[in-house]
Chain A
Amino acid sequence: QKEVEQNSGPLSVPEGAIASLNCTYSDRGSQSFFWYRQYSGKSPELIMSIYSNGDKEDGRFTAQLNKASQYVSLLIRDSQPSDSATYLCAVNGAGGFKTIFGAGTRLFVKA
């Protein structure tokens, strides 16, 4: 079992819709969770951090964390073609030091 799992996609949504990206992790003691966006040919960019159960909203982005289910998600409201990218889920394990990245989910937002 991979430590951080994401559906590779591609996930295709129409412009203006909600895109829902999901991630599961194996280390039950994980404490810190991140979402990064990576455009083709570019390096990853941090878009959200979440540390406690529940929802965290930042503009059109909402991160959701459920530690009991070992599940973290990212919702993108009012999706725009410029949101088309690969979204990487990252998790810090119980020891805190090492960040494990998922393989990423490719998102296409159709105009």
Chain B
Amino acid sequence: GAVVSQHPSWVICKSGTSVKIECRSLDFQATTMFWYRQFPKQSLMLMATSNEGSKATYEQGVEKDKFLINHASLTLSTLTVTSAHPEDSSFYICSARDSGGGSYEQYFGPGTRLTVT
């Protein structure tokens, strides 16, 4: 149980284009999902917390107009990187909490590796 999927697993795009990443909880409902970014050999950095049916909460320093988050259902959250630039190249990972689990355990998706050329 507690499986989270992400799509795509990797993507290459040209500078200036937008990329959408999907995060799905496959066998549980997730009121809350989280989006992280991780650069090589660095620690996880929380970008934003995504709540179903409401606006995402962004961490300080994360541009909400550049990283658009939508959490339209209890099993799906999307992150759109708008007008991507090479410095946005990174490993993007989502995680989800089981709404019915009563715990604060987070289950991570496999991640999406974004390369902007």
- State the A residues within 8 Å of B (CB): 32, 34, 36, 41-46, 49, 88, 90, 92, 96-99, 101-104
Contacts and interface: CB of A to CB of B under 8 A. Distances in A.
Interface string B79-99: 000000000000101010000
Contacts of B105: 34, 46, 49
Interface of B: 34, 43-44, 46, 49, 91, 93, 95, 103-111
Given A42-B110, A43-B109, A43-B110, A88 B104 contact: no
A96 B108 contact: no
B111 A42 contact: yes
Nearest to A34: B105
B103 A43 contact: no
Contacts, number: 41
B94 to A, nearest CB: 9
A66 to B, nearest CB: 20
Contacts of B107: 46
B110 A101 contact: no
A101 B111 contact: no
15 contacts: A34-B106, A36-B108, A42-B110, A42-B111, A43-B108, A44-B44, A44-B95, A46-B105, A46-B107, A96-B104, A97-B104, A99-B106, A101-B43, A102-B43, A103-B43
A106 B27 CA distance: 31
A32 B111 contact: no
Closest 4 CB pairs of A and B: A103-B43, A43-B111, A43-B108, A92-B104
Contacts of A36: 108
A97 B51 CA distance: 12
B112 to A, nearest CB: 10
A32 to B, nearest CB: 5
Contacts of A90: 106
A90 to B, nearest CB: 8
